[in-house]
Amino acid sequence: MSAVLFIIYLLLAYFLIWRTGSRHVNGVSPLRLLFLFTVKLFYAYFFLFVYTDYYGGGELTADAGRFFRESIILNDVFYQSPRDFLHFIAGWRENPELIEHYLSATSHWNAGNQFLPNDSRNVIRVNALLYFISNGSVYIHFLFFSFCSFIASLDFFQLLRKHSKVKGKWLIVFVAIAPSIAFWSSSIIKEPLMITGLFILMRGVFDAINWKRKTWRILLGALFLIGFKPYVSIVLICALFFYLIWSRISQWQVVNIITFVLFGFVFLYTTGGLQKMTTVISKQQEDFMNVRDGGLYLDAGNDQYYYVYFNNRKAFDLHNSKAVLQRPVGAFLMDIDDNFTRNPVHLDAVGDTFHVAVAMDQAGSGIEVTTIQGSFPTMIKMIPEVLFNTLIRPLPKPSQTWLQYPAFIENCCYLIFLFLALVPARRSINKKEVRMTCTMALFAFFVLLIVGWTTPVVGAIVRYVIPAQVGLLAIILIMIDPQKLKATINHITRRS
């Protein structure tokens, strides 16, 4: 039954893409669009392979697996109480007792209070609703998410083709199946719906279309961004404020960018927002460092933990959230809300039992980063390190997984083509395109900063920088002159 459903939905997706291409996408044949969507489905299959067979040992793992399993738990609420299910879907009356009763087995939904809205819940909601029509087939979920982001990429293409000298048949290739963007937007996590919102919102803001077509794109795109990546929506709002207002102050966009950044700093400083922003980013970095390091957090009473290194976890017999000390081991005593003040202690009372507050595996791609510890000057000093980690890493190492090589090569391609588009193969662009590319640059830069400040795990960095890659890709495609690029390559090859 699941296979039949998948084939039906696949044929429906092909039909909708063919019809969309025939009616709304000029300069590209519907057959090419069907081919590109098929390639995108291979990305989805590759994602499944990586997180099921390569990392998961036959079971879908990481966020994709957890989101899918927790969506099943939420879907099951419908059969116990349709009314409570609708409350969860709509976000109404989600009191702790209701969550504990139905969703105590979840981790993403039942994650406690957060500074920004819990976007993980929205992904679980979407997958729980899809579960009604998917017959439990994860392949149908992947198909749906891949289709949404692909259709949105056609909208983004419609914007870029008006501002790019790249031929339409190649432009659609770069937009629809750029490797990392296509890989992550073909999953069942937040990225596909975030990319969907980003693509259609950008067209709504930047394209010269009528207000009716602008309005629904801006509203729907904003809804998707706020729902599935709130911090990306905040960054985009800042960048669009520059585009709509600040970029018009002077004809020199470099001056506009400098004064915009200075204005933002003064505004945050005088309103107290700078310290609040620093605290939030610092706390996020602390939380992610815990994910990187793994280990055991044992309840020490008085709102304190004993932290035990991941490599020393075998000193305990772990069972049902209990840890029984088997041999003396070093640990650190720390307050629950302060990760950096850790006092070394020695646990030597063999046989003592501790409650395991948190148990985490060590991240396989963790890196050392400068710790912020609530200091904004430290964040500024970190910027070169942040840009290196987000634009260059992962650095190839024989001891690491082979998946590092495609990501490293793609990063190098972005930097090389960005240089070519800005220097030897740059085309002359009009004032609106200058404002657009500067806005894209600010958006990408701010995303890279946030990701680099908060994320000490390379495997997460390559995922979180996807919105920045959209901005960089747009800059390259708008600014590059294919004829100058060809001449530059010919010149280099002749000299070599």
| Percentage of residues of the chain with pLDDT beyond 90 | 75
Q: Where are the domains of the chain?
A: 2-217, 273-283+368-495, 295-360
Say if residues 459 and 363 touch (Cβ distance below 8 Å).
yes
pLDDT at residue 59 in the model = 87
**Dist CA 284 CA 382 (whole Å):** 16
Give 10-56 pLDDT, tens digit per residue: 999 999 999 999 999 988 999 999 999 999 999 999 999 999 988 87
pLDDT at 364: 80
Side by side, the strands of the sheet bearing 304-308 are 316-319, 322-325, 353-360, 295-301, 304-308, 329-335, 342-347
Give the whole-angstrom CA distance, residue 22 versus residue 17: 8
pLDDT, position 340: 66
CA 99, 104, 105, 111 torsion: positive or negative? positive
Of the candidate ranges 91-105, 279-293, 405-419, the one whose mean pLDDT is the lowest: 91-105
Helix (H) or strand (E) holding 305: strand 304-308
**294-331 pLDDT tens trace:** 888 898 888 888 989 888 888 999 887 889 999 999 99
Whether the predicted pLDDT of 116 surpasses 80: no
Q: What is the pLDDT of residues 299-309, one digit of tens each?
A: 888 888 898 98
Q: What integer pLDDT is reported at residue 495 of this predicted model? A: 77
E strands, 314-398, are 316-319, 322-325, 329-335, 342-347, 353-360
Please answer whether residues 446 and 390 qualify as being in contact, where contact means their C-beta atoms are separated by less than 8 angstroms: no
Q: Tell me, what's the pLDDT at 339?
A: 64
* Cβ pair 468, 474 in contact under 8 A: no
- Tell me the pLDDT tens digit for each residue of 262-281: 999 999 999 999 999 999 99
User: Tell me, what's the pLDDT at 110?
Assistant: 65
Q: Is the pLDDT confidence value at 115 over 70?
A: no
Mean pLDDT of the chain: 92
User: Per residue in 151-179, pLDDT tens?
Assistant: 999 999 999 999 999 999 999 999 999 99
pLDDT at residue 363, as a whole number: 83
Q: How high is the pLDDT of residue 401?
A: 81
Q: Is a pLDDT exceeding 80 seen at residue 400?
A: no
Above 60 in pLDDT, residue 113? no
- At 316 the three-state DSSP class reads strand
